[in-house]
Amino acid sequence: MKLTERQQHIIEIVKENEPISGDKIAHTLGLTKSTLRSDLAVLTMTGILDARPKVGYIYSGLGFQPMIQDRLSSLTVEDIMLAPVSVKQETTVQDAITALFMYDIGTLYIIDDQKEMVGVVSRKDLLRSVTMGNYQSAPVAVVMTRMPNIFVAYPDMPVLKAAKSISRHQVDSLPVMESRTSNKIIGKVSKTTLVNLLIELTDKELDA
Ligand code: ADP
Q: Is 17 exposed, middle or buried (0-12, 13-18, 19+ CB in 10 A)?
A: middle
Burial of 59 (0-12, 13-18, 19+ CB in 10 A): buried
The pLDDT of residue 70 is above 70: yes
C-beta of 174 in contact with ligand 1 (< 6 A): yes
| CATH number of the domain encompassing residue 30 | 1.10.10.10
> Which of 86, 120, 189 for mutating ligand 1's site (highest number of atoms within 8 Å of CB)?
120
Q: Is the pLDDT of residue 206 over 60?
A: no
Q: Does residue 204 lie in a domain region?
A: no
pLDDT in tens, 166-204: 999 999 999 999 999 999 999 999 999 999 998 888 765
Range(s) of the domain holding residue 148: 77-196
Atom from ligand 1 closest to the CA of residue 124 = 2
Average pLDDT over residues 56-85: 84
The residue whose CA is least distant from atom 19 of ligand 1 is 171
Can you give the pLDDT at residue 1? 64
Task: Give 73's pLDDT tier (boundaries 50, 70, 90).
Answer: confident
- Edge-to-edge, what's the strand order for the sheet holding 107-111? 86-88, 107-111, 117-122, 145-146
Question: If you average pLDDT over residues 8-32, what whole number do you get?
Answer: 95
Which of 118, 124, 165 to probe ligand 1 with, by most ligand atoms within 8 A of CB? 124
Is 42 part of a structural domain of the chain?
A: yes
**How many CA atoms within 13 Å lie on the side-chain side of 204?**
10
Residues 92 and 132 in one domain: yes
Whether residues 44 and 104 fall in one domain: no
- Number of separate domains in the chain: 2
Atom of ligand 1 at shortest distance to CA of 123?
3
Here the CATH number for the domain that contains residue 108 is 3.10.580.10
Q: Are residues 49 and 110 in the same domain?
A: no
What confidence score (pLDDT) does residue 208 get?
A: 47
